[in-house]
Amino acid sequence: MKLLSAFRSSYLNRRGTAFRSLDPSSFDGGFIPPKPSSSPSSIFWLLIHCLCCLISLILGFRFSHLVLFFLFSTSVTNLYTTTNGGVSHHLLQLKPNVTEKSSRVVVGRHGIRIRPWPHPNPIEVMKAHQLLQRVQEEQKSLYYGASSRSPRTVIAVTPTYVRTFQALHLTGVMHSLMLAPYDVVWIVVEAGGKTEETASLIGRSRLIKKTIHVGFEKKMPNTWEDRRRMESEMRVEGLRIVREEKLDGVVVFADDSNMHSMELFDEIQNVRWFGALSVGILAHSGNADELSSALKTTDREGMPMPIQGPSCDSSGKLVGWHVFNTQPYATKSEVYVGDKADVMMMPSKMEWSGFVLNSRLLWKESVDDKPIWVKDVNSLLDGGNEGIVDGPLSLVKDPSMVEPLGSCGRSVLLWWLRVEARADSKFPPGWIIKSPLDITVPSKSTPWRDPSKLPVKNNQPAMEKRSGKPRGPESNNSKGKQEPKAFDGIKSSATR
């Protein structure tokens, strides 16, 4: 009996609003029946209450609860509309002086409001994305200062040549440039003259404002040392083009084998004349064992993944440079492109890609506020390549005045990793397969029917299919399940 009374009291507790006539403070004792009064409404409620208790006893709590729910709901158009309106009406009739303050918030069970089509509205999604963009623009202008208000063009100079991995590298650079939210002028200097393949790759970049594709007469040599030199010459050729076209912006040396982060393009907007960034060097070896042993030796000395770039003291002034130390790898460095797997590919001491410059330094006319610590690049470019190809620092008279970017070189904004195939490796030109392949193997998991195996008879396609292809045990599939015949093929392949 105690359980029953407790059960009833918990039931009443949940339906508290409809049964407020009962004393709410009586629940720590037991169940106290209401005092009989002469008013017909209270007798009516008493009868209803007894009826509900009987129903709940017979049918169980949940079902009777649902019955009552439906009985008292005033609007039945939608299952999930609120019922508190009707219930509170009864409440006010029974006890008019419960609360004299008119609160529009009613305690009790409310319906869960669901709108007629509770799915995303594409117009709202568009508006929300515009709001997100606006907020992010505001954030950018706060944290990157005045430079975001007048963004400068990014002039990317990329030396390239046709090789197996060219498509891989060039597509990476192209996508990075397409994603940068600035105007980009892309100067591609190609060794061995302009080729159709490179031109078609570059032509896929629709978002880049302007691409300049230039051919460089000499062909790419086979040793790494010579290649680096040739690439430097190609970069200088790119600088000459900047000078001729009088492009205005920030010149970035976007080597095609590097990985650029988006913060790089935001950060270089802050350069005034000549800036330096940190480049992460991911020198690697093809052989995993060699790599791990190499890492162990380098751990004793310093970072296994060195960083090239400016180094500052605590006050933010440039004091030196982190340079790539080739000593630990002296015996193991690759000489020829695509050498044996257990040697490592080395970057040069100072990579060109770690430096950016203001394109006005290259202009022929004398710009008024050109800094004195930069050499006259104009005359250097005129006089041939000898002075320049040693490295990017040969462009400045006083290296200590170079501006360090990326919170003084502490954030690495791009990575160097040179992965190249062997010099004589073959690949289809333009990566388009023109002739049909020699060998064709039937695919075992086509969900659709093989047209060559269509049966002559129309009424037994499933049996044909099953017998035609080699499969695993199928007894478990046909265990009395009624499947529509047309979808047999799909079903049987899905249960593999």
Partner 1 sequence: MKYRSWILIFLAACYLTLSTISAFRLSRSQPTERISGSAGDVLDDNPVGRLKVFVYELPSKYNKKILQKDPRCLTHMFAAEIYMQRFLLSSPVRTLNPEEADWFYVPVYTTCDLTPNGLPLPFKSPRMMRSAIQLIASNWPYWNRTEGADHFFVVPHDFGACFHYQEEKAIGRGILPLLQRATLVQTFGQRNHVCLKEGSITVPPYAPPQKMQSHLIPGKTPRSIFVYFRGLFYDVGNDPEGGYYARGARAAVWENFKDNPLFDISTEHPTTYYEDMQRAIFCLCPLGWAPWSPRLVEAVIFGCIPVIIADDIVLPFADAIPWEDIGVFVDEKDVPYLDTILTSIPPEVILRKQRLLANPSMKQAMLFPQPAQPGDAFHQVLNGLARKLPHDRSVYLRPGEKLLNWTAGPVADLKPW
Query: What is the binding site for partner 1 (CB under 8 A)?
Result: 14, 16, 24-25, 28, 65, 82, 99, 101-105, 107-115, 118-121, 124-125, 127-128, 130-132, 134-136, 138-140, 142-146
Contact by Cβ (8 Å): 373, 397: yes
Here the tokens at position 372 are 């004195």
Phi-psi region of 338 (alpha: psi -120 to 50; beta: other; left: phi over 0): left
Distance CA 86, CA 75 (A): 9
Give least dist CB 44 to partner 1, A: 23
Q: What is the DSSP letter of 1?
A: -
Here the tokens at position 276 are 């330096």
Shorter beta-carbon distance to partner 1: residue 110 or 296: 110
Give least dist CB 16 to partner 1, A: 5
Look up tokens 């790119």; give the residue: 238
Helix (H, G, I), strand (E, B) or coil at 444: coil
Shorter beta-carbon distance to partner 1: residue 133 or 292: 133
Helix (H, G, I), strand (E, B) or coil at 227: helix
Amino acid in position 298:
T
Closest CA relative to residue 230, chosen from 199, 189, 169 = 189
Give least dist CB 130 to partner 1, A: 8
Give least dist CB 317 to partner 1, A: 19
Give least dist CB 91 to partner 1, A: 12
Give least dist CB 379 to partner 1, A: 35
Burial class, 161, CB count within 10 angstroms (exposed 0-12 / middle 13-18 / buried 19+): buried
Shorter beta-carbon distance to partner 1: residue 131 or 494: 131
Give least dist CB 107 to partner 1, A: 5
Give least dist CB 214 to partner 1, A: 36
Give least dist CB 119 to partner 1, A: 6
Shorter beta-carbon distance to partner 1: residue 31 or 144: 144
Shorter beta-carbon distance to partner 1: residue 27 or 165: 27
Strand ranges, E, within 85-168: 154-160
Instruction: Tell me which long-range contacts 90-96 makes (C-beta under 8 A, separation of at least 24).
Output: 90/18, 91/17, 91/18, 91/20, 93/41, 94/20, 94/21, 94/41, 94/45, 95/20, 95/21
Distance CA 51, CA 33 (A): 14
Shorter beta-carbon distance to partner 1: residue 125 or 341: 125
Helix (H, G, I), strand (E, B) or coil at 116: coil
Give least dist CB 62 to partner 1, A: 8
Here the tokens at position 166 are 């060219």
Closest CA relative to residue 287, chosen from 298, 278, 295, 279 = 295
Shorter beta-carbon distance to partner 1: residue 152 or 213: 152
Shorter beta-carbon distance to partner 1: residue 146 or 288: 146
Look up tokens 């290296």; give the residue: 399
Distance CA 149, CA 404 (A): 22
DSSP β-ladder status, 318-322 and 154-160: unpaired
Burial class, 481, CB count within 10 angstroms (exposed 0-12 / middle 13-18 / buried 19+): exposed
Distance CA 333, CA 342 (A): 9
Shorter beta-carbon distance to partner 1: residue 144 or 165: 144
Quick one: how far is CA 310 from the chain centroid?
29
Here the tokens at position 305 are 């993944």
**Measured between alpha carbons, how far apart are the two ends of the chain, in Å?**
57
Give least dist CB 148 to partner 1, A: 10
Give least dist CB 400 to partner 1, A: 24
Contact by Cβ (8 Å): 239, 185: no
Shorter beta-carbon distance to partner 1: residue 130 or 495: 130
Shorter beta-carbon distance to partner 1: residue 224 or 265: 265
Shorter beta-carbon distance to partner 1: residue 59 or 494: 59
